Amino acid sequence: MSIHQPDFWPWAGLFNKIATSDKFVVFDCVQAPRGKSWFSRNRILLQGGPAWITLPIYRSSNQKIFEVRINDEVNYRAKHLGTLRQAYAKTSYFQEVFDFVEGLYAAEHQFARDFSLSIISAVCRRLNIRTEFVEVRDLIPDSRISELRGNDLVLEICLAAKATSYLSGTGCLDFIKPEDFLLNKVSFEFQEFVQNEYPQPGCSTFHPSMSILDVLFCVGFRKTEEIIKGVLNS
């Protein structure tokens, strides 16, 4: 099992994490990031270098991730699609990927987490990732979530989901305690994902950790699936 917040157009590593898990818990019950973060933006390649693609959101104090609304006063759909066309129109897989992306932008979403989750779910389907998605608030009541922090919250989510193993990212090294999971008969493993290089047209050097958009436009759906799942079988 794995847990992660619904990032905006996340990188290939998150999809590897999902593909490696039998169950993926959507972690949207904690305070939303106050500054710039992967929750509302990610990187693509534009004119040979990294550029940001950002989802406009309304910000307020003490918001939970699931409470953050999209700022529809900004015409982000046309802007994003125009930027993607400018960035990737010359790639071999542009049209099939752009049609897919355009379809996702056509849907109406009030909340940022809903839009990002629709993106993540749709990409998983296209890449034949069949992992079960679970909402954290279906596992633990809000009152209990507010009482827990860090390691204790992650462990309780695992126990509520009846997980026998937990796949963790390395961004939690400052608070996670693997020994607590082992004491509760939940095996613990850190994700080991190394970004395989792929051709990035117009770039003299490889830029790792781009949004999944970059991988899809550069190599197409089939090769993207191989890049993500190939790590599992290496």
Determine the structural domain holding residue 194 and report its residue range: 2-233
Of the candidates 171, 168, 175, the one whose C-alpha atom is nearest the C-alpha of residue 149 is 175
Pairing of strands 49-54, 41-46: antiparallel
> What is the average pLDDT score of the chain?
94
pLDDT band at 142 (very low <50, low <70, confident <90, very high): confident
Determine contact, residues 225/128, Cβ cutoff 8 Å: yes
Report the percentage of the chain scoring pLDDT > 70: 98
Span 74-118, pLDDT tens digits: 999 999 999 999 999 999 999 999 999 999 999 999 999 999 999
Domain count, the chain: 1
Check whether 171 has a pLDDT greater than 90: no
Predicted local distance difference test score (pLDDT) of residue 62: 86
**pLDDT band at residue 232 using 50, 70 and 90 as cut-offs:** very low
Distance CA 13, CA 171 (A): 13
- Indicate the pLDDT class of residue 166, thresholds 50, 70 and 90: very high
Instruction: Please give the pLDDT value at position 85.
Output: 98
Is the per-residue pLDDT at 233 higher than 50? no
